[in-house]
Structures are given as structure tokens and as C-alpha cells.
Amino acid sequence: MTAVPPSPQTTLVILLGASRWPFSPEFQASKAFLNSAMELRAYFLNPSQFGLPQENLLNLFNSNQSADDIDGEIGLFLEKRMAEMKQAGETARDLLVYFVGHGGFVGDDSDFYLAIRRTRTDNPSASGIQMESLAYTIKEKARYLRRIVILDCCFAGAAFSAFQAAGPAQVAIVKTVDAFGIQGKGIGLPERGTSLLCSSRHTAPSLISQDGTHTLFSQALCRALSIGNPQRQDVLSLRALADLTEDVLSLMPEKSVPRPEVHSPDQVDGDVADVPLFPNPAARAARASADVETSPVAEQPPQPIYGQPSPERSSPPLRQTQQQPYPSNAGLGSAPSSDQLQHGLRLSRAMIIFFIALILLVVAGSVGFFSFTRNNPYPPFGTLALDDPLSDNSHGYNWLEGDSYGGTCAFTGGAYHGSDEQSGGYHYCIASPNFSNFAYQVQMKIVKGDAGGITFRLDDKDGDFYVFRICQNGQYGLFIYKKYLPVSTLRSKSSTAINTGLNQSNLMAVVANGSTIDLYVNKQKIDSMSDSSYSQGQIGVFVADVNGPTEVVFSDAKVWKV
């Protein structure tokens, strides 16, 4: 049977990992893991990038489930989705599993495990995801698929041995294939097999960027995916993507960055690392630009990525070259050739494009400035910095998704839902951007339970933040949280500006400018106070379970910098 190339419609993606480990204090919590996972998720679901159907993605990042429950969830997702696709006339062909977070070793044999939110220091073997167990589930449940596993964690290269063929029968098959010289190994398009892209060697730790926003590997990976390589085909293989990711890493300011590795432990049917899977934006843009010779505004390919080649690289990295308008041996009296004239024509066209774009940018910027300030109803006004309808997570703000600590953050029915099931508890759902002085507005509706609101100037690592919340009975409050606990009530009152009862919409807003904090509901200023506990941080939404399970629906988030 002839193998069929990959497509977004026939690809399944599973996201694993965590950004906090409350039962393993030796693992340092970091928003870098969350940002990395959400950025890669956004890439896969973005129609203009990978274009993965929403139902083909299983997001278990920051899941509060046990390792056994996660394993069961993976198996159920693969079985159910593959059956649904088959019934719809599609056949699943490719599986990609991505993990970002901490990894470690346990036991006398130093077995490699992946730390999840429920991993415990006293027994990581039972509470973490054993690499042998993950490999078994993936190989069994996706036996006839091409499998790619991307690991962004400490000592990620140690996962290689878990995916090697084990047992006398499989070893015999490999030996037989080698002995008879069947040209299935590394030749042609395989129907199945496993390849790994690891962020580091098994003796080197992965790193977090200097600004703490992403892991270095995932940051480079996402940039490589979004830019591509104009000198390669329209679709990149895992091996080509790894090379391009290494090029991006070589340009980063951090020193001694670990080099990613590609391994293909299961090549009986061919090498999955050479299968084209990831769209190459730079190559497509370059081809489109070359095809449209008569267009006055031709699309320009992205800026290429270049770096120093590694001695072990199978192919040199893309380098930026500088072309001269005329050959260096051409004399002053030499007439330009047709190729030289064509090159000059391209330069002229490029200059025209540049000036047209510049004019449009100035005009758009002027219109945008007045639009942004006019649509900001909160003094001292400012410029729009975040505009998200909260219909999904595709706008690049990396809102938290998943279950944790008895609460849930999820995009459902074109809105962002926050819920909490713990009596007397709370749950917040945050975005990745960081703000200092701003006006932050969001539409909210309490559909079940007690109260909802917004968080701001939040430090997710230390658990320090402000909360402005309103209750369905018309009360409101501003609170200071420290180390995830409420330590001070700055205000607790009621207001007639609040639409009371369940399923009533309220437009909440806070203006934080220095130590001054102004509170708004439905564009009416209801209070003002001064506090300098926190000066900057992330924004989010908040759900409070005062008397019973609570669910709040949020939409139309905006932030203006002031």
C-alpha cells in the first residue's frame, strides 16, 4: 500500500506538561512553560499556519489529573477520534505529542519520567508520566500512524531508549530487514514509525529565555514554524524543522544553548523525521512572489534565519547572502546583462512597495490612533494594547486552558468560561501579556453560583495579585492576594450600577495608574482608591465559589496602556 502524505485534517496533536508543581517544590514554577505550550497550540489551530481542526487536538497541559488518568485520556482520545475520522471518510495518519516542563530520573535504573502537575516528590515514579509507559500507549493506540514526539524538558534526550524496538521478535525483524537490504529503511514515505525531537541531549538541561517568557527551545521552534526557510520545499520535515530551530537558537543572546536532537528509533517502514509535515511560510511566500512578476504589490518572503553551522548537521543552515547589482569583475564601461537589468527592476519594484507600505502604515496608524483613543472610555485614556473577543485562543494572548485545583478555564461556545467547584474557593484564568499602567475591560456574565471578576498586576509565580470582583447580589470588592491567599480587603460595598441576578451581563473595568486604582461597572465609575502593593503583572479573569459551584462567562477583553 502506498503511503499517503500528511495533512492537517488527518493529523492528531496532544499537548502535555505543566507550569506549576505544587507537590514537588524542587521544580520551579514558571510561566515560560505555559506560554510555550499555548503558543504552539495557537500555531496548530491557526488556519493561516498549520490549520489543525479543533477536534483533532487534546490539550492536557496543566491538567490536574493523575498520571494514570492522563494515560487513559490519551488512549480514549486516540481511539475515539480515529474511529470518528474513519466513519467520516478520513483516516488518521499522523500523531504529534508535545511535552514542555520538567523531567527527571528515578529508581536504580535512572528511568526517565515527565513531571505533571500532580507529580509528588515522595514518589515521582508513580505520580509522574513514565517514558516507558507513554511510549507503550502511543505505540499501541497509534500503531498504524506516523508518530512524532517533541520533548522540551530537562534531559529530554534520555527519552530515546524508551522508543527503541524491544523484545526478541522486534529485534529479529530489524535484523532481518538489515540483512536482506530491504529499501524500506529511510527510503520513501513511511506509513508508520516514530521520530523524536528533543530540546537537549540527555546530559544537558534545557533553558528558559533571559526574559523568562518562554523556554528557549520552544521559542525557537515556534519562530522557525512561523517563518520557515525559503530555500526548502513548501512543507518542512521534522529534520528540516530541527535544523531551522537550531539556526534560531544560534542567534539568541543566551550562551551555551543546548542543541536539539532528532532520533528515529523505529525506522522499519522508513524514517518519519523525513516526512514533510509542517507548512513552510517562507518558501510559499517566495514562490508566490516569483510567480507574480507583474503585480505592483508582490508578497515578500519573510526575513530568512541564518546562523553558524554545526559540524554534525546533515545540511548547512540557511545563510543570508548579499548580491551585488553587477558582477564584481564588471568594468565601469560594461553594459548590464539582462539578468542584471532584471535584478535592478526587482530593486525598483521593491522600493515602490516599500514606500506604498510606508504611506499605508502612516495613514493606518493615524486612523488607528484616533480610533483607539476614542474607543477608550476610561480616563486618562491611552492606546489599545490588547483586543480579544475571547471566542477562542487564536489571538496570541495565550489564555490559560485546562483543569487545575478544582477549577476550569475553557473556550466554549464562542466565549471564555471560568468555573470553580471548591466550596469557598476561587479560580483564575490568566493571559500571558504583562502590563504596568493600563485600563482593563472585560464583559462578564455569572451563569451559575456567586461571583466573578478580573485579576490584574498578577505574578503567577509567587501568587501575588489584585482582584476586582462583583457578586450577583450587587456587591463588589477589591482585594489583595499574596501567595495565593486573600490578605487585605481594600473595598467591599454594593452598587446600583451592577446588573444583579444570574445570566446578567456586566462590563467590568479597572484603571491602574501608578498607585491609583479606579473601578468601573457598565462604564460608570463606582470607586477609587490608592494602593502600591503591586506595580505590574499579568491580567486575567476570576471566579469565586462563595456558597456553591460557580461558572462565569467572559468576552470582549480590552487593555489600553496609559
* Res. 371 pLDDT band, cuts 50 70 90: very low
DSSP 71-100: HHHHHHHHHHHHHHHHHTT----EEEEEEE
* 519 and 525 Cβ atoms separated by less than 8 Å: yes
DSSP 468-510: EEEETTSEEEEEEEETTEEEEEEEEEE-TTS--STT-EEEEEE
Q: Would you put residue 209 in left (φ > 0), alpha (ψ -120 to 50) or beta?
A: beta
Pick the closest to residue 301 from 361, 353, 241 (CA basis): 353
pTM: 0.54
The CA distance from 24 to 5, in Å, is 42
Domain boundaries, the chain: 10-287, 337-374, 386-561
The CA distance from 283 to 377, in Å, is 44
* pLDDT over 90 at 349, yes or no: no
Q: Which three cell numbers, joined as nine digits, stand for 264?
A: 528515529
Whether residue 433 is preceded by a cis peptide bond, meaning omega within 30 degrees of 0, is: no
* pLDDT over 60 at 344, yes or no: no
Amino acid of residue 499: N
Q: Tell me, what's the pLDDT at 483?
A: 82
* Res. 200 pLDDT band, cuts 50 70 90: confident
| Torsions phi, psi for 269 (to 5 deg) | -105, 5
Q: Strand runs (DSSP E) across 377-425, as ranges?
A: 383-388, 402-404, 407-412, 415-420
Q: Which three cell numbers, joined as nine digits, stand for 198?
A: 528533543
The CA distance from 170 to 78, in Å, is 24
* pLDDT over 60 at 91, yes or no: yes
* Res. 182 pLDDT band, cuts 50 70 90: very low
Q: Strand 129-130 vs strand 111-114: parallel, antiparallel, or unpaired? A: antiparallel
What average pLDDT does the segment 341-348 reach?
A: 42
* pLDDT over 80 at 27, yes or no: yes
What average pLDDT does the segment 351-374 reach?
A: 41
Q: For the chain, what percentages of helix, strand and coil (3-state, to nearest 5) are there?
A: 25, 30, 40
Q: Tell me, what's the pLDDT at 185?
A: 52
What average pLDDT does the segment 242-257 reach?
A: 83
Tell which wins on pLDDT, 305 or 70.
70
DSSP 129-190: EEHHHHHHHHHHHTTTSEEEEEEEETTGGGGGGGGS--SHHHHHHHHHHHHHT-TTSSSS--
| Torsions phi, psi for 280 (to 5 deg) | -110, 90
* 530 and 514 Cβ atoms separated by less than 8 Å: no
Pick the closest to residue 50 from 228, 305, 262, 232 (CA basis): 228
* Res. 103 pLDDT band, cuts 50 70 90: confident
Q: Tell me, what's the pLDDT at 497?
A: 94
As a whole-number percent, the residues of the chain with pLDDT over 70 amount to: 75
Q: Tell me, what's the pLDDT at 162?
A: 55
The CA distance from 200 to 151, in Å, is 9
Q: Tell me, what's the pLDDT at 164?
A: 47
Q: Tell me, what's the pLDDT at 390?
A: 96
Q: Tell me, what's the pLDDT at 26?
A: 82
Cα–Cα distance list, 312 to 158, 185, 241, 364, 518 (Å): 19, 21, 16, 47, 58
Q: Tell me, what's the pLDDT at 253?
A: 76
Three-class SS state of 339: helix
Q: Tell me, what's the pLDDT at 16?
A: 96
Q: Tell me, what's the pLDDT at 290?
A: 57
| Structural class in CATH, domain 10-287 | alpha beta
**Residue 335 burial by Cβ neighbours in a 10 Å radius (0-12, 13-18, 19+):** exposed
* 432 and 40 Cβ atoms separated by less than 8 Å: no
CA end-to-end span of the chain: 62
Which residues is 550 bridged to in the sheet? 420
The CA distance from 81 to 199, in Å, is 29
pLDDT digits (tens, 9 = 90+) for 114-154: 999 999 989 998 999 998 899 999 999 999 999 999 999 86
Non-local (6+) Cβ contacts of 40 within 8 A are 15, 98, 100, 218, 221, 222
Q: Tell me, what's the pLDDT at 288?
A: 65
* Number of Cβ within a 10 Å radius of residue 351: 10
Q: Tell me, what's the pLDDT at 522?
A: 94
Q: Tell me, what's the pLDDT at 169?
A: 28
* Number of Cβ within a 10 Å radius of residue 140: 10
What's the mean pLDDT when you consider all of the chain? 79
Pick the closest to residue 247 from 316, 195, 303 (CA basis): 316
Q: Which three cell numbers, joined as nine digits, stand for 128?
A: 509522574
Which position has the grid cell 480616563?
379
* Res. 155 pLDDT band, cuts 50 70 90: low
Which of 16-30, 173-187, 371-385, 507-521 has the highest average model confidence (pLDDT)? 507-521
Q: Would you put residue 192 in left (φ > 0), alpha (ψ -120 to 50) or beta?
A: beta
Three-class SS state of 389: coil
CA 299 to chain centre: 27
* Res. 163 pLDDT band, cuts 50 70 90: low
Pick the closest to residue 148 from 239, 27, 258, 247 (CA basis): 239
pLDDT digits (tens, 9 = 90+) for 493-514: 999 999 999 999 999 999 999 9
* pLDDT over 60 at 347, yes or no: no
The CA distance from 423 to 429, in Å, is 18
Cα–Cα distance list, 201 to 42, 51, 159, 354 (Å): 27, 31, 10, 44
Q: What is the CATH number of domain 386-561?
A: 2.60.120.560
pLDDT digits (tens, 9 = 90+) for 41-90: 999 999 889 999 999 999 999 998 999 999 999 999 999 999 999 999 99
Q: Which of 49-53, 145-149, 401-405, 462-466 has the lowest mean pLDDT?
A: 401-405
Q: Strand runs (DSSP E) across 154-284, as ranges?
A: 193-198, 235-237, 261-266, 276-279
The CA distance from 208 to 476, in Å, is 39
